[in-house]
Amino acid sequence: MRFRGLSSISVTFPVFVAAFFFMFVVGGTIHAVDKNFHDAPDSAKATNNPYAGQPDAIDAGKTLYARNCLACHGKAGQGTGNVPSLVDGKLKGVAQGEIFWFITKGDKDSGMPSWEFLPKQKRWQVVTYVAALAAGKAEGVAHPASAAEVSGAALKAPAPRAPFTDFRYESPGTTRKITVNDLPEPYATESAENGAELVARPENAWPVAPAGFKVELYAAGLENPRLLRTAPNGDIFLAESSVGRIRVFRGMTSDGKPEQSSIFAEGLKRPYGIAFYPPGPEPQWIYIGNTNELIRFPYHDGDLKASGPSQHLADFPTGGHWTRAVEFSQDGKKLFVAVGSGSNVDDPDTHPGEKGRADILTCDPANCTMSVYAYGIRNAGGGIAVNPQTGELWCSVNERDALGDNLVPDYITHVQEGGFYGWPWWYIGGHQDPRHAGKHPELKDKAIMPDVLLQPHNASLELTFYEADKFPAEYRGDIFASEHGSWNKAVRVGYEVIRVPLHQTGHATGEYQDFLTGFVLPDGQVWGRPVGITVAPDGSLLVSDDGSNSIWRVSYMGK
């Protein structure tokens, strides 16, 4: 299931709406009217919604729905693709108290977390809007920014002040560098809501790469293509997260298409992270980061389908940021797992749901008891990777929001063991979040400055190191990263692939370059959103796009 900007959802109430609607997929069909909804107790069925039918509650719920759910469930709750409808009688006979009970209690087996720590009012507002929508007593939402509004904003907004930018000025090969001295004060501008309602890719729309590079369509017709990973034998593994599936591609035809495609495993719970163990040419296992657990399948070179059942290794907290990136150290002695926060900026001291989150965790791959490797990292679940040159772990981070258009920058950085990166009390070194003024002064000097500051709100996801020799020599060893795109900036930013030069030293100096753009139309409408990125055996770069449900192939043709 896709949720607009899910990896960067960042309001003070987390993405419980996404998890709420996820039950309709993972929980199978909706219960019949003569059976309590998800076996809710009779007391839940008898609980009255204190906001039932109230226009203000419907409006508040409508805003929540638009922000978190519209991209998957449609403007009128009609569903899209594999996502069932919430209307047309699908909720007939389900008491609002039952729905409220379910999102409060959760259900680990179906991937539904408990949201008991959230304010009751927020939960009831969502229930109120959906109930009104299902009963035909509420209009389906328009996007928070309609196509016409987006177009007008894009054409009329003044040019951004460098080093900040937006989609209008993203151009392949352009170098950018944001420094700590460029950061504005909190609340210098209002925070915006400008999420992208995806449109079909026009025939003349195509990703744009620097001169000398060629972009081809590698695969299309996928379902929620997310993280990509190249196996040691050259097969390309893809997580199709919303449908609970791992797909594998093999070979490449003369026109840049895969020769084979197979389903390696299915029936999973929002899989994302993929890693092969032990590192090297003869892996024996493939590790998968489901949203709720770490599992592994037996694996040998050439397997197109899992040869045995999965093994459960560890549990993860659910809800909030749901992606679980996984990676191994070069020697295979450590498994790293990124677990994002459950909210934008909730204090773990007062919000139990944030305990054990916003961390990069580690364990022994064979006997996985998790411990904290680095902390205060709001959400690195979109991408972690080990630099082949230095052996250092790197991560791609979605930082917090609601402090203004140009705060807080997302970032890419190497990760220091035991390091603290600020969330939620501090950001980008010793800058205190005003929402936590006066808290944890002892951590100010411990907050580590990231290596590369990116555009705020652009939702940086998977990253990879380019170790092939088919791109120009200066690209060797550099980072490529997918920027999923903003939902909360006045004029869109992101929706591109970037390059982080490491200068053949393995170390960044703060700058990055636009590399692959064109996913936003001139009027601001969006047709594509990069997520996964990997290097194919022929040295080309593969980029998954969960906007057009495609994979793009970027190769170098020469000057």
Q: What is the tens place of the pLDDT at every residue in 508-522?
A: 999 999 999 999 999
Which helix (H) or strand (E) covers residue 553, if one does? strand 550-556
Provide mean pLDDT across the span 292-302.
Answer: 97
In a domain, 226, yes or no: yes
Cα dihedral sign for 214, 218, 220, 226?
A: negative
pLDDT at res. 470 = 97
Same domain, 201 and 66: no
**SS3 state at 133:** helix
Mean of pLDDT over the chain: 88
Please answer whether residues 286 and 268 qualify as being in contact, where contact means their C-beta atoms are separated by less than 8 angstroms.
Answer: no
In a domain, 271, yes or no: yes
**SS3 state at 323:** coil
Same domain, 224 and 130: no
How many CB atoms are located within 10 Å of the residue 185 CB? 11
In a domain, 52, yes or no: yes
- C-alpha–C-alpha distance, residues 495 and 256, integer Å: 23
Same domain, 196 and 99: no
Same domain, 396 and 449: yes
Choose between 225 and 488: higher pLDDT: 225
pLDDT at res. 68 = 56
| pLDDT of 412 strictly over 70 | yes
Query: What whole-number percentage of the chain has pLDDT above 90?
Result: 69
CA atoms within 13 A on the CB side of 491: 21
| pLDDT of 550 strictly over 70 | yes
Same domain, 341 and 260: yes
| pLDDT of 6 strictly over 50 | no
In a domain, 311, yes or no: yes
- C-alpha–C-alpha distance, residues 317 and 231, integer Å: 28
Please answer whether residues 475 and 555 qualify as being in contact, where contact means their C-beta atoms are separated by less than 8 angstroms.
Answer: no
- C-alpha–C-alpha distance, residues 359 and 101, integer Å: 30
Same domain, 282 and 410: yes
Question: Among 134, 157, 183, where does a domain finish?
Answer: 134
| pLDDT of 111 strictly over 80 | no
**Domain range for residue 421?**
174-556
Provide mean pLDDT across the span 208-227.
Answer: 97
pLDDT at res. 107 = 64
| pLDDT of 85 strictly over 80 | no
pLDDT at res. 319 = 86
CATH number at residue 408: 2.120.10.30
Q: Between β-strands 426-427 and 393-397, what pairing exists: parallel, antiparallel or unpaired?
A: unpaired
Please answer whether residues 278 and 332 qualify as being in contact, where contact means their C-beta atoms are separated by less than 8 angstroms.
Answer: yes
| pLDDT of 267 strictly over 50 | yes
| pLDDT of 44 strictly over 90 | no
User: How many independent structural domains does the chain possess?
Assistant: 2
Q: What are 449-500's pLDDT values in tens digits?
A: 999 999 999 999 999 999 999 999 999 999 999 999 999 999 999 999 999 9
pLDDT at res. 15 = 41
In a domain, 208, yes or no: yes
Under the banding of pLDDT at 50, 70 and 90, the label for residue 79 is: low
Under the banding of pLDDT at 50, 70 and 90, the label for residue 538 is: very high
In a domain, 256, yes or no: yes
Same domain, 182 and 117: no
**SS3 state at 501:** coil
Same domain, 349 and 479: yes
Cα dihedral sign for 221, 222, 226, 229?
A: negative
Same domain, 322 and 444: yes
Provide mean pLDDT across the span 128-153.
Answer: 65
Query: What whole-number percentage of the chain has pLDDT above 70?
Result: 85
Residue 476's closest CA among 446, 497, 498, 505? 505
- C-alpha–C-alpha distance, residues 160 and 374, integer Å: 34
Same domain, 248 and 335: yes
| pLDDT of 121 strictly over 60 | yes
| pLDDT of 108 strictly over 70 | no
Question: Among 134, 150, 183, where does a domain finish?
Answer: 134
Residues comprising the chain, all counted:
559
Poorest-pLDDT segment among 128-132, 139-143, 396-400 = 139-143
pLDDT at res. 38 = 76
Residue 338's closest CA among 408, 285, 398? 398
> What pTM was computed for the model?
0.80
Provide mean pLDDT across the span 368-391.
Answer: 97
In a domain, 168, yes or no: no
pLDDT at res. 17 = 44
Please answer whether residues 489 and 405 qualify as being in contact, where contact means their C-beta atoms are separated by less than 8 angstroms.
Answer: yes
- C-alpha–C-alpha distance, residues 248 and 253, integer Å: 15
Which helix (H) or strand (E) covers residue 132, if one does? helix 120-134
Query: Looking at this protein, which amino acid is placed at residue 80?
Result: T
Place of tokens 């309602």: 197
Query: Looking at this protein, which amino acid is placed at residue 194?
Result: N
| pLDDT of 232 strictly over 70 | yes
- C-alpha–C-alpha distance, residues 44 and 544, integer Å: 42
Q: What are phi and psi of 28, to 5 degrees?
A: 80, -155
Provide mean pLDDT across the span 59-88.
Answer: 62
Question: Among 134, 162, 184, where does a domain finish?
Answer: 134
**SS3 state at 149:** helix
CATH number at residue 117: 1.10.760
Provide mean pLDDT across the span 539-549.
Answer: 98
| pLDDT of 190 strictly over 50 | yes
- C-alpha–C-alpha distance, residues 541 and 536, integer Å: 6
Residue 71's closest CA among 127, 128, 1? 1
Burial 362-373 (b: 16+ CB within 10 A, else e): bbebeebebeeb
Please name the residues in contact with 301: beta carbons below 8 A apart, sequence gap of 6 or more. 231, 232, 233, 281, 282, 283
Same domain, 110 and 191: no
pLDDT at res. 77 = 73
Degrees to nearest 5, angle at CA 102 with 97 and 103: 105
**SS3 state at 435:** helix
| pLDDT of 145 strictly over 80 | no
Provide mean pLDDT across the span 341-366.
Answer: 95
Place of tokens 């600020």: 422
Please answer whether residues 77 and 130 qualify as being in contact, where contact means their C-beta atoms are separated by less than 8 angstroms.
Answer: yes
Same domain, 384 and 459: yes
- C-alpha–C-alpha distance, residues 421 and 427, integer Å: 7
